[in-house]
Amino acid sequence: MDLWGGWTQEELDRYLEASQIRQRAIERVTNVVGTYNDLRMRIFSKHPACKCVSVSSEWCQIVQSVCRCDDDDLVINRSKVHKSLLMQHVRLPSLGGKVALVPWADMLNHSCKVDAFLDYDKSSQGVVFSTDEAYEPGEQVFISYGKKSNGELLLSYGFAPREGTTLEIPLRSQCYPIQITGWPLELMAYAYLAISPPSMSGQFVEMAAAASNKSTTKKDLRYSEIEEEALQFILDTCEASISKYNKFLQILRRRLRDIRSGELKALTIFNGFRKFFK
């Protein structure tokens, strides 16, 4: 059964055993299939002349492979696909996340190194894009698709950037992307919240806001009295997360053991020869 972007159930189980993305990929497929089956029951079964039209080829791929429906039952509306390439749905932060159709916005690629995004500009009454990096003429300009882990980018956009590699650390209902160079303030805030004693209830609101990325004003959230415990909490969670890849870790350990024992054998033979020529 094809799941998302051509991934099979077996591949999901093998490669994404410990990843949050595995469950989300399955949920996505379940939602698409549920919507299609609902439409089929309510509309297509009663009006055979009606066709299911989708602008998304992934949507059709999932429906076709999972629901095993005929090609004729599904139509990818090419003209809409064409338009959707040029007109991107964009959420405008300063208008409370209102959605706008912005011409050519679909041409912009993502980079983890930038925070810049398109937004509504009151003075020019239009959607503008201000870069947060200096670019040379002819250089590619990037936007940020959001603070997303590699897994999320892979699931939603079909690519995983090489730079700024991230690992998703699942903590109860939240999920925080950590980078090889560090961890986000939100994760630290969550750790403070999770381990802080009731005597610190006065700070709970501030910690919760920072953990859910709602407070952008406070850049340095520190509580020295519980910092050690919070760091230990993050370390334990990271270790627990990676230990789920136990098959992979076993293979690595076995391979290392084999290489080392091979080296030892070679060393013994070499020492034997040395003694022989002494």
Ligand X SMILES: C[S@@+](CC[C@H](N)C(=O)[O-])C[C@H]1O[C@@H](n2cnc3c(N)ncnc32)[C@H](O)[C@@H]1O
Residues that bind ligand X (CB under 6 A): 106-111, 157-159, 161
DSSP string of 89-137?
Answer: EEEEGGGTTEEEEEETGGGPEE-TT----EEEETTTTEEEE--SS---T
Kindly tell me the sign of the dihedral angle through the C-alpha atoms of 57, 58, 63, 68: positive
Please enumerate in sequence order all residues whose Cβ is within 8 A of that of 259, keeping only pairs 6 or more positions apart, or say none: none
Check if the beta carbon of residue 114 is closer than 8 Å to that of residue 128. Answer: no
Q: Find out whether 175 and 169 touch, Cβ atoms under 8 Å.
A: yes
Tokens of 266: 């070679």
Q: Which is nearer to ligand X, 24 or 110 (CB)?
A: 110
* CB of residue 151 to ligand X, shortest distance in Å: 15
**Minimal distance, residue 8 CB to ligand X, in Å:** 21
Report the residue number, 4 or 233, with the smaller CB distance to ligand X: 4
Residue 119: CB minimum distance to ligand X, A: 17
Q: Which amino acid is at 200?
A: M
User: Which CB atom, from 28 or from 40, has the smaller least distance to ligand X?
Assistant: 28
In the complex, what is the shortest distance from the CB of residue 65 to ligand X, in angstroms, rounded to a whole number?
20
Nearer to ligand X, 77 or 144 (CB): 144
